[in-house]
Amino acid sequence: MKIYFIQSTPYDARGNLIKKSQLYFVGLAPAILAALVPDWDFEICLETIEDVDFNSDADIIAVSGMGHAMIRSIHIAEQFKARGKTVIMGGYMASLVPHEALKHCDSVVVGDGEVAFPILLRDYAAGCLKPMYQIPLKNLSYPLPRYDLLAAKKIGNFLPVQAGRGCPNACSFCSVSCLYRGSYIKRNIDEVIRDIKEIKRLGYRRFLLLDDNICSDKPYMRELCREISSLRMQWFSQCSIRIADDDELLRAVAESGCAALSFGLESISQQSLDSMNKRWSKVADYERQLAKIAAAGIDLSTEMVVGADGDTLESIEKTADFIVRNKIAIPRFYILTPIPGTDFFVEMQQQNRIINDDIYSYSGAQAVHLPMNMMPDELTEAYWSLYKRVFSLRSILMRTVFKRGFLKSPLKCIFYCYVNLYYRYQIRRGITPNII
C-alpha cells in the first residue's frame, strides 16, 4: 500500500501559495516515518517546491505543516477527503489543536510519531483506524532515515540529522515547550553519527543538527562534538545563548565544524523575557555573549519576537540598532502570537486580550492580541518597520560585508549578503522571511 506525505507551504498575505525553486531547510519527519514502515510505498511532496498531486493513487494521505501553514494543510486535507481518501494529519500545529485538525481528517497523530505511526497503519490495514494517536516516547531511536527520498528533491546543500527532541525550558509562547512540558530526550550518539555518515555518503558536506537546545546536556554535547570532528563536516544548529558562558563547550562546538548557530533572543527588554517565562536569559549579557560566540568563529543567527509586555515602540525601534551593532548575519522576527495550546494563549484568553479569534489567520506577521504598551495596529506597523530597517541595503552591508572576518571568508560573507537580499525581496512583497 502507498502513503502520500505532504509538507504544506504557507499562504502569503495575498492568499497565494509561497513557492520557491529550491528548498533549503527540509523537515526530517517524512524520512523517519518512511524508514519506520519499509513495507509501504512512501512518496513525499514538499509543496514549497512541488505541486500537490490531488489525483494520487495513495491509500493514505498524510498532511503536515509548520506554523501558519496549518490552514493550507486543512485545505489540502479537505480536498482529498472530498475525493474519498483516508487523510491523517500531524506535526506541531495539529498536535497543539488536535480536535480542530480532526474536523478535517480521519485521524490525528499527536506529538511524536515513531511509535504511533506504525500502529496507525496497522489499524488502518485492519479496518479499525482510531481518530487520535498519542503515544509519548520513552526513548528516541529509529532506523536510518530515508534520506534518499529527500536528496531526490530540489533542496540545498545540506540535510538534517537529529540529536535530541523537546526542551528543558518552559517559555510560555513556545509550541515545543508546551508540547513536551520540560521533557528532553537525546538519541544515542552512535545513531546520530550513523545518520551523519549516511549524509556524507550521499555526497553532502554539511548537515543541520536538529535539536531545540543542543547545550542542555553538556557532557553529551562534548562527546558528540568529538565524534563529529573526525568526520570533517560543517554543521549548524540552534541553542541557548548561554553556550557563550562555557568556554570548553564553545571551543568543542567550534572545533567540530560548527559554522553557525541560531539563538532565540526574543527581546532586548528584560521585562519582556520575564513575562514570557524566560528569566534565565539576561539581556544585559547578550552583547558580550554574541561577541564571544562570533570570536570563536561561529556565525550568528537570531530569532526575536515583538509585542511582549515589556516591549514599547521605542524598544522595537532600538532592536534594529542592536542587530546591526552585533553584526547578526541572519536575523528573523515575529509578532508574539498566542498560539492555541500554548500557555501564552491561555494567559491572553484569561486576560481578554485576544482580539482575533480566527486561529487559522495567525501568521506571526499581524498582531492578534492586545499588547501592554501600544495598540495592535501600532505593533503590526512597528514590526514591518523593524524588518524594513534591518533589511535596508545599508544594514545588510554592515552586517554581512563590512565586518571583521570578511577578508578571511569573503565567499561566506557574500552568501549571507545574498540571503539577506532575498529576505529583503520577500519583505517588500509582504512575506515574512522564514526557514522554508
Structural domains in the chain? 2-133 (3.40.50.280), 157-428 (3.20.20.70)
Give the tens place of pLDDT for each residue, 211-267.
Answer: 988 888 899 999 999 999 999 999 999 999 999 999 999 999 999 999 999 999 999
Q: Which residues pair with 263 in a beta bridge?
A: 302
Cell of 20: 520557491
Mean residue pLDDT of the chain comes to 94
Sheet holding 299-306, edge to edge: 159-162, 206-210, 234-238, 258-266, 299-306, 330-335
Q: Where does 110-215 show beta strands of DSSP type E?
A: 132-133, 159-162, 164-166, 184-186, 206-210
> Residue 270 pLDDT > 90, yes or no?
yes
Nearest to 202 by CA among 244, 242, 146: 146
What does the pLDDT look like over 130-148, one tens digit per residue?
Answer: 999 999 898 999 999 999 9
Band (429; pLDDT cuts 50, 70, 90): confident
Residue 56 pLDDT grade (very low, low, confident, very high; cuts 50, 70, 90): very high
Residue range 67-114, pLDDT digits in tens: 778 899 999 999 999 999 999 999 988 998 899 999 999 999 999 999
Task: Give the separation between CA 406 and CA 420, rounded to whole angstroms.
Answer: 16
pLDDT of residue 168: 81
Give dist(CA 375, CA 386) in Å, integer. Answer: 16
- pLDDT at residue 88 in the model: 98
Q: Which helix H or strand E contains 305, and what residues bound it?
A: strand 299-306
pLDDT at 178: 82
Return the higher-pLDDT residue of 436 and 299.
299
Q: What is the pLDDT averaged over residues 326-338?
A: 96
- Quote the DSSP letter at residue 361: G
Tens digits of per-residue pLDDT, 354-400? 999 988 888 889 999 999 999 999 999 999 999 999 999 999 999 99
SS3 319: helix
C-alpha angle 47-50-53 in degrees, rounded to nearest 5: 85
Out of 25-34, 53-62, 209-218, which region has the weakest mean confidence (pLDDT)? 209-218
Residue 36 above 90 pLDDT? yes
SS3 308: coil
Give the lowest-confidence range in 16-20, 21-25, 260-264, 403-407.
Answer: 403-407
pLDDT at 274: 96
pLDDT tens digits for 150-168?
Answer: 999 999 999 999 999 988 8
Q: pLDDT above 90 covers what percent of the chain? A: 82
Phi-psi region of 408 (alpha: psi -120 to 50; beta: other; left: phi over 0): alpha
Helix (H) or strand (E) holding 238: strand 234-238
Tell me how far apart the alpha carbons of residues 232 and 228 are, in angstroms, rounded to a whole number: 7
Share of the chain above pLDDT 70, in %: 99
Q: What is the CA radius of gyration of the chain?
A: 21
Please state whether the predicted TM-score (pTM) of the whole model is above 0.85. yes
- What is the pLDDT, as a whole number, of residue 115? 96
**pLDDT of 435 above 70:** no
Q: Which helix (H) or strand (E) holds 63?
A: strand 60-64
Determine the residue type at 49. I
- Alpha-carbon distance of 271 to 269, in angstroms, equals 5
User: How high is the pLDDT of residue 436?
Assistant: 47
